[in-house]
Structure 1
């Protein structure tokens, strides 16, 4: 393999993105692998530069740079914005060519309808002779239109992380494989537990700011979380740990979690974790009795350490992963949009608690071989390059 590099990494403030990079590096097994990031300084903050080489994915040229001028003229004279879309990434296209392998690790970049930048990257790499891989992805089937079909067909290999996406994408690209998310291979680090975190008697809860935007007929989805925490306090001796997994300024789990913490902090039953890297977060999650998570990679940290898990899901990735692990996503995924009753989370929590032993037993039996399948990604890359 002449050159093998990762791109479309958004930055490690999203610890799911970080987990994908670390898991991929372990699977591929290459030292000094290059990762092109949208936020190198953020990655360094969490120590990612200790395991991979970091480069900048975008170069923003000054206003009067010749490339910017040409781009403006093309738009003004010919209504052609393709050059303007391409130039921030020219340093990548000029550096790599045939026999090189560009691996896009966005994960859920094709779950939404704003994928144009990834289409530009894929097209330009292919034009340069560089083979492309869409790695560990989910793809929302309803968004696969003619334009996306054309884009997906250009990838030399697509590895889908769950079967719902796989069934849709294999119709478009025959070089599509079903392989678990690379984060299932992420190592964990067990730091000392904070006061109030009881091993195997703590419910881990993760939320995203999007939760707060979903209003229901009986109030807000946030009310469901408040009612659940009050229910756990009133009816059990279980502790509660609020665990952020994305800490980007514009999309920070700590905001809704802090609102919950402030409401219940005086009970001495609720703690809130600070910010840690993805391996350390996995170490905390692994010592939970059960886990309820909105972020997909927070639930992957729980699944992969055999913790009974409920995904508060809103897209194909949550449903697909749960379906592949349990055979169904019913009772294992609760779309936040359906939180229409103030007791919805309480009811599903009680179901989990009733079936806790069976769920954990299933995970203990199933997850080891499932995690092992994530290693198949390396074999597929080697076959692609004839190694």
Structure 2
């Protein structure tokens, strides 16, 4: 067992996205299983300085040190005009400027893990900052692993798909978290450096909130996570239409079931805030206040997982909110807008019956699916209790595969 290695965990988002935190917690757990007293240098993308400082201050694991990438934060940044030509005319300089806080640590690190779940996709635009990350590491002859991720598809932009095919062939290892990614990579001819694992977040422990944040969860409750991001897929980007539709869906669930409903935010970043979205949705509902509970955005990833674990059923849009539920053996309906949800469901259940595509997101369809799953609750829990230990083993196996590649 290697002693005191340093791992760079790069490219992640802030802990305000509980999925990003869950990936870090799970990854740290995996690496501690295989390496003695590892330390972790996390270089992540933050929206602003205050967010970075708060995360650094509140980090409870002493082995984790946080740093931030350099990015233009807003149009009020006095240097933003200088950075635009730097990015477009001098991409090599821009790459090194973006990751300058990481570069001094690369040489003495065991390897660099590019973490973040779905960074290498078109879900959030062209993933330029992540291919830059790869270049910076590989140019310095250090192993670069795309860690526990979904990759692609890129077929909407054929020229970019050709670029990514060439780029991904140079990566030391692509640790794919679900089978849909492996199938896609196989289709575009990338096989030699691909390894099947599971999302590290499956291994994150659930933690009961401390006394100052304690919450009573009523038995047999339903947990729901919805996000403003879904407007892109449900209503062609029209947020107002999606808010109204979401309120009608929740009203229908409340009307047709006897269960208390907890609205559970999972991402509360400035640009995408589930809490503010769910608050707006709740305000438009006619259902009684007692039946619909909106959780405040005060819980970290493991505390949120503990809350989700108490639900009778969970329905979620954010991938890592559904991973929190699935790994706690809670029957889970995934609102699937990309390959990642379908791939994860296929790996867990062997089918996609518990996924709903955006075009099927109607009040009638959602309620029908929830009622059906509540009727089959015991059967689904049994399926999960059989499947999840194997998924967790796959997640843990990533550490062993890493050792074989690096050593």
Q: What is the TM-score of this pair, normalised by structure 2?
A: 0.83
Contact 2:7 2:38 in 1 (8 A): no
- Structure 1: which 5+ residue stretches go unaligned? none
CA separation in 2, counterparts of 1:42 and 1:326? Answer: 38
**Aligned-pair CA distance for 1:373:** 1.8
Contact 2:56 2:65 in 1 (8 A): no
Return closer, same or farther for 1:163/1:88 CA change in 2, 3 Å cut-off.
same
Residue in 2 that maps onto 1:204: 223
**Aligned-pair CA distance for 1:224:** 4.8
Contact 1:31 1:52 in 2 (8 A): no
Residue in 2 that maps onto 1:34: 41
Return closer, same or farther for 1:353/1:152 CA change in 2, 3 Å cut-off.
same
Contact 1:98 1:131 in 2 (8 A): no
Q: Deviations over 1:197-239 (max 9, x none)?
A: 313x1100001112345338xx945455434433343343211
SS in 2 for 1:369: helix
Return closer, same or farther for 1:323/1:45 CA change in 2, 3 Å cut-off.
farther
Residue in 2 that maps onto 1:54: 66
2:132 to 101, 114, 120: 120
CA separation in 1, counterparts of 2:118 and 2:142? Answer: 22
1:226 to 210, 228, 247: 247
The answer to whether structure 1 residue 16 and structure 2 residue 19 are counterparts is yes
Q: Deviations over 1:238-274 (max 9, x none)?
A: 1100000000011000122112332256341111111
Q: Deviations over 1:268-300 (max 9, x none)?
A: 111111121000000000000000000000000
CA separation in 2, counterparts of 1:351 and 1:142? Answer: 35
CA separation in 1, counterparts of 2:290 and 2:193? Answer: 53
Q: What is the aligned length?
A: 374
Contact 1:111 1:315 in 2 (8 A): no
Q: Deviations over 1:102-155 (max 9, x none)?
A: 110021011215111211121121111111000011012344711101211121
**Aligned-pair CA distance for 1:74:** 9.9
Contact 2:305 2:324 in 1 (8 A): yes
Residue in 1 that maps onto 2:145: 133
Contact 1:224 1:343 in 2 (8 A): no
Equivalences for 1:159-170 in 2 at 5 Å? 159-170=175-186
Residue in 2 that maps onto 1:323: 346
Residue in 1 that maps onto 2:206: 188
Equivalences for 1:1-387 in 2 at 5 Å? 3-29=6-32, 30-39=37-46, 40-44=52-56, 46-47=58-59, 50-58=62-70, 79-97=89-107, 100-112=110-122, 113-143=125-155, 145-170=161-186, 171-191=189-209, 194-195=215-216, 197-199=217-219, 201-212=220-231, 214-215=234-235, 220-262=241-283, 263-264=285-286, 266-275=288-297, 276-330=299-353, 332-339=354-361, 341-386=362-407
CA separation in 2, counterparts of 1:338 and 1:45? Answer: 43
**Aligned-pair CA distance for 1:58:** 2.6
SS in 2 for 1:154: coil
Contact 2:322 2:332 in 1 (8 A): yes
Contact 2:9 2:41 in 1 (8 A): yes
Contact 1:208 1:256 in 2 (8 A): yes
Contact 1:72 1:84 in 2 (8 A): no
Contact 2:8 2:41 in 1 (8 A): yes
